[in-house]
Amino acid sequence: MSGTKREMHTEKNVFSGADAIQDFMDPDKLPYVPLVEIPSTLNPLADKGVRVFAKMMNLLPLGNVKAVPAFNMIREQARRGDLEGVEALIENSSGNTVFSLAIAARQFGVEKTFSYVPAEISWNKLLMLLFFGVEPIVNQEPAKPADNDPASGVYKARRDGERPDMLNPGQYENPDNPGAHEKWTGPQIWDQTDGKLSIFAAALGTTGTLIGTSTYLKSHNPDLPVVGVMRAPEHYVPGARTEKLLNLVDFDWRAHVDHVECAESEVSYRLSMALSRRGLMAGPTSGMALAGLLQHLDKADAAGELDALRNADGEVLCVFPCPDGPLPYLDEYPRYVGAEEFPPIHNEELLLNKPRA
């Protein structure tokens, strides 16, 4: 093998030695996350010069968007000395964030991670946390959560994190969450689109992806329209929040959003499945971001405003992140996309393990 360690990382994609895993988690040492154009069959405005690209965050080492803020939050805490004496992390999360944090923390010597999870967590997600060695603490969340509600998992994690042997990274208020996307996701997208981006759209959870990415993109093009996509009220899309739940997030996400769209469960799961079947492994919030983006473009087209979005090449170039893949949510799809989307099973009567009803 030839070349310096740095060249090896970026060109040959080899990670070796005592720091191999830590290097593998460091976006500075990884190739760019792929940006892939969706097929015209999934882009109703393709014949009007609209091009839509998916930023495949599921291809990060931990298989999800939270790999980047988790690594950034933990590394910055380690650099500040905040991990000294810490024996366990505690976070409020039932999915990607906490298992990504647990893995990142192990790289910096903290072996144990606890997580508050809501009582309605699915068995599949619970199993995923257990698989990654996270200890869940089931919490009965308040029906109508108030700001700083002492019964909420967010509050309890913050309170527990004040113990000297515990640390709460605090994904809902930690600037290193959006900071990670300002440092890496935004610059990659700007470079990958040669600065010709027309619109950026993202699903809103902690809002870290949207705030960080748009902060960087708008530092280069202050007029860039940014679309925030929230979950429609009473609809389920894991990882994304409704407007009511977004009001409990400390980050000032509204200052970074030009347009807000709401997406329902059915369209989110359907687009996720459609993207996945074409080779873009996209989970429900990916479908949700695409749904919100297409909704927004549709309105712009109806209002005769598409031309105002065209770049120097005459195209409307759009990017949305795919935060993770569909596999952790497989059991949820039949509920939202309808049985007719699932092919028949031939000789089903021979099956030894019957599918669940």
Ligand X SMILES: Cc1ncc(COP(=O)(O)O)c(C=O)c1O
Residues that bind ligand X (CB under 6 A): 65-66, 95-97, 203-209, 239-240, 283, 285, 323-324
Output 197 or 282, the one with its CB closest to ligand X: 282
Output 72 or 206, the one with its CB closest to ligand X: 206
Output 96 or 295, the one with its CB closest to ligand X: 96
Please tell me the total number of residues recorded for the chain in this structure.
357
Minimum distance of ligand X from residue 337's CB (angstroms): 17
Burial class of 192 by CB neighbour count within 10 A (0 to 12, 13 to 18, 19+): middle
Other Cβ atoms within 10 Å of 293 Cβ, number: 25
Question: Any idea which residue has 């929230």 for tokens?
Answer: 230
Q: How far apart are CA 275 and CA 285, in angstroms?
A: 12
Other Cβ atoms within 10 Å of 309 Cβ, number: 19
Minimum distance of ligand X from residue 108's CB (angstroms): 21
Minimum distance of ligand X from residue 93's CB (angstroms): 7
Minimum distance of ligand X from residue 228's CB (angstroms): 9
Output 102 or 240, the one with its CB closest to ligand X: 240
Minimum distance of ligand X from residue 50's CB (angstroms): 23
Output 204 or 337, the one with its CB closest to ligand X: 204
Helix axes 96-107, 67-80, angle to 10 degrees: 40
What DSSP designation does 205 have?
A: S
Distance of CA 73 to the CA centre of its chain: 15
What DSSP designation does 262 have?
A: E
For residues 9, 13, 16 and 22, what is the CA-based torsion angle, rounded to 10 degrees?
A: 70
Minimum distance of ligand X from residue 95's CB (angstroms): 5
Output 309 or 322, the one with its CB closest to ligand X: 322
